[in-house]
Chain A
Amino acid sequence: MDKFTLNREDELINRLLDRDLTYSEESAIMDEISTFPEYKDNLTDYLEIQKAIKNDRYIVPTNPELDKAVFLEVDNISRLIFGKTFISKYKYSLLGLLLLFFTATTYFTYYAFNSNELSEISQNTSKVMNSSVNNSLQTDSKNVTPVEEKTEIPVVSNSIVNSTTASNSKKDFTISSEKKNADIVLNNTDNTSEESQQSKQDIKQLSSSEINNQNSLEENLLDPRFNLAVNESLYEYMSPTTIIPKNGIFSKISRAILTNSSKEDFLLQYRGLYAVTNPEKSLQGRNFYFNSYCFGGFIEAFNGIYLGGEFGSEPYSQIYLDPNTSVQYEQSSSIFYFGLASKFEFKQFEIIGFHPAAQLFAGSSSLGPIVRSNLTMQYDLLNMGFFFGLEGGSVLYSNQGIWYNTSKLGFIGGLNIKL
């Protein structure tokens, strides 16, 4: 700071004008000033200025426009800050939740295919081996449908035949066989309990690659697991490409979502699908809620319009044609997909808290291009939104140079969380 010194007179007066003097100090200064009459004029000037300042201490009120501008800005900032705070506070919880879903999905899928369906198909192996030795296909209807003989009728003619289906492995395999001028023989199986138990221990899970389009029917028939799957089938033949479960037309798929009603920007979604068309219930594993899921992340680009991406997994029925045997297979493997999605919320049509919402998705899957769309009713509660509705999906895939399309329709339910 610059060197600045006051003379004795100014120093005394300034000390007097300062508000931090005690009464005795003030009296002492006043006594000193009074001894110098010339100081008095100077003190008067200072006091007059101080008095003028005191009279000039008033508040300049802000105008309403300025107030509005400040509060608007603060509101916007608070939205951003508390959005971030929310993420920082709950991001680990959300990640944990997502991991939990994935773990559960994996577990239930594994459990469903490994523990149950595999055990059903892994029974007798000896007869299968015989069939391979004979290298012929024979159908024993009694063995194919040991319990319900009347429903499982093997067809041996110049027509498309599908008397049995297999439900096994991760991909929920089913078979429809087509053979011209040849007898289809689905091998004998003796459901001997001891052998069955032994087989259950010895036989591992049948992977989808082993039983789908990679193998011929003959090759698959050599596999005892496949063979037994056929015999244990719970499906009925409807058409060369369609089968239905004996216990009903409707099957269940799963799915889940995340959303919220506050005016936040980022939206996480998880939803589950319950299919009302194909694939069939038991082709999706035992726990449908975790076998057909979808995760999405969206940013609110415009008011009520979200753009983002999705990924998930769900089964679709597919047809495969064996080039060697002309046998046509049908399976419902779970396919993984990902792609771009958009979500539209129509809050202007809200009825008793529910408003319509729609989503569109286009992307690619492990089979081929996939598109999906849904229409839901959504209920918002705080930062969360719950919805349910209908969803349709379609996948385009190629086999043996031929393009096929497989579609399905299902109920969906899910949850949105806005961050």
Chain B
Amino acid sequence: MKYDYETLSDEELFILFSKSREVSNCAFNEIYKRYSGKINSFLYKILGDKQHVKDLFQDVFTKVYIVGAEGKKKKLDNFKSYLYSTVINSCSNHFKSLSRRSNIYTEYMIGMEKDKSDYEDTIELVRTAVNKLPEHLKEVFILYEYEELNYPAIAEITGDTQVNVRVKIHRARKMIKDLVVKMRRRMTNMV
């Protein structure tokens, strides 16, 4: 049976992982096409270290493929949530093993070309502020603000309640705002 992989949903593609080897590889190819950039960006935001991003990126996609190919998850309501939860778990394990925090955006900025225009300074300040967030807040904040996931999805990924997720995001947001304001004042004073 031939599939039009581009028209299939993430969940349908995930189910196809457990079909024949050929179908499985094609389905994975499509999923990879859809999410590789997003996951790579997300990992850069969380980890910031190029080598670790590479390792975890590979680890995440391999894990997802294995689960799908072995048919361990017969039904998946939201593939995106599942994928990000795998990323979060991998990151958590990574941080546990390293017992250190990453420097967000150190590598993220390398080679990036974008129109920063009026927000260039603010973007820099926000990145720095995000980098200073505690890990549990940073993950949730990035998922919400950068990956644009909603509260239920983040709750599913992190295993928190929606209320907790909301509180974490509000808290992170306030911390970032306070940090940005503080840094701006410092810069103004220096000038």
Contacts and interface: CB of A to CB of B under 8 A. Distances in A.
Contacts of B89: none
A352 interface: no
B170 interface: yes
A351 interface: no
A45 B129 CA distance: 14
Q: In terms of DSSP, what is the predominant structure of the interface of chain A? A: helix
B28 A74 contact: yes
A81 B19 CA distance: 11
Nearest to A19: B150
A60 B40 CA distance: 6
Contacts of A70: 32, 36, 57-58, 61-62
Interface residues on B, range: 35 or more
Interface stretch (A61-69, A181-189, A373-381): A61-69
A46 to B, nearest CB: 6
Contacts, number: 122
A4 interface: yes
Nearest to A76: B62
A59 B147 CA distance: 10
A419 B45 CA distance: 43
Contact of A66 (B54, B115, B171): B54
B77 to A, nearest CB: 19
B21 A79 contact: yes
B8 interface: no
Given A70-B57, A82-B24, 7 more contacts: A45-B180, A49-B126, A53-B126, A55-B115, A55-B117, A58-B41, A70-B61
7 contacts: A20-B150, A46-B177, A50-B145, A56-B123, A56-B146, A57-B148, A61-B40
Interface of B: 20-21, 24-25, 28-29, 32, 36-38, 40-41, 44, 54, 57-58, 61-62, 65-66, 69-70, 108, 112, 114-117, 119, 122-123, 125-127, 145-146, 148, 150-151, 164, 166-171, 173-174, 176-177, 180-181
Nearest 7 A-B pairs (CB), nearest first? A59-B37, A52-B122, A60-B41, A82-B21, A14-B170, A52-B123, A52-B119
